[in-house]
């Protein structure tokens, strides 16, 4: 069965960076992209960006450009999302999801990784 397993919770200080991993199994990793979505406490869903299925093509929401980097290691079927220059506004649950398109539909989701930014 398709599974996306994310790395554990992180606590970071303002100004630091965080890297979240997302290990996929149960499907051919290079046949789908990966999208990243975050959700601040009590808030809605926010699309952050997408990494493509083969050549590592990326698309980022305007809000995160220059501060986010999405990569993928096809040898381990793992996607990564790094967010730099963290502030308290980045405290959120970060999800990865399998993406059918460029982006399009997000059909399987990870369990979420809580990132807390606090001094």
Answer yes or no whether residue 107 interacts with another protein by CB under 8 A: yes
Q: How far is the CB of 37 from another protein (least distance, A)?
A: 8
Answer yes or no whether residue 59 interacts with another protein by CB under 8 A: yes
The burial class, CB within 10 Å (0-12 / 13-18 / 19+), for 70 is buried
Q: How far is the CB of 46 from another protein (least distance, A)?
A: 7
11 Cβ contact list (under 8 Å, min separation 6): 116, 117, 118
Answer yes or no whether residue 26 interacts with another protein by CB under 8 A: no
Q: Which of 3, 61, 66, 73 binds another protein (CB under 8 A)?
A: 61
Using CA atoms, how far residue 29 sits from 14, 44, 60, 65, 69, in Å, is 33, 28, 20, 25, 19
64 Cβ contact list (under 8 Å, min separation 6): 48, 49, 83
Contacts with another protein: how many residues (CB under 8 A)? 22
Tell me the window of 10-18, 24-32, 59-67, 73-81 that interacts with another protein (CB under 8 A).
Answer: 59-67
**Which positions lie near another protein, rule CB under 8 A?**
35, 37, 44-47, 50, 59, 61-62, 95, 97, 101, 103-107, 109-112
């Amino acid at each position: 069965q398709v599974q996306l397993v994310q790395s554990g919770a992180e606590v970071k200080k303002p100004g630091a960076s965080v890297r979240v991993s997302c290990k996929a199994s149960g499907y051919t990793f290079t046949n789908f992209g990966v999208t990243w979505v975050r959700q601040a406490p009590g808030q809605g869903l926010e699309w952050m960006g997408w990494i493509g299925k083969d050549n590592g093509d990326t698309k980022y929401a305007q809000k995160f450009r220059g501060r986010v980097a999405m990569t993928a290691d096809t040898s381990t079927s793992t996607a990564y999302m790094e967010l730099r220059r963290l502030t308290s506004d980045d405290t959120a649950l970060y999800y990865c999801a399998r993406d059918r398109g460029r982006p399009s539909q997000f059909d399987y989701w990870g369990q979420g990784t809580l990132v807390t930014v606090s001094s």
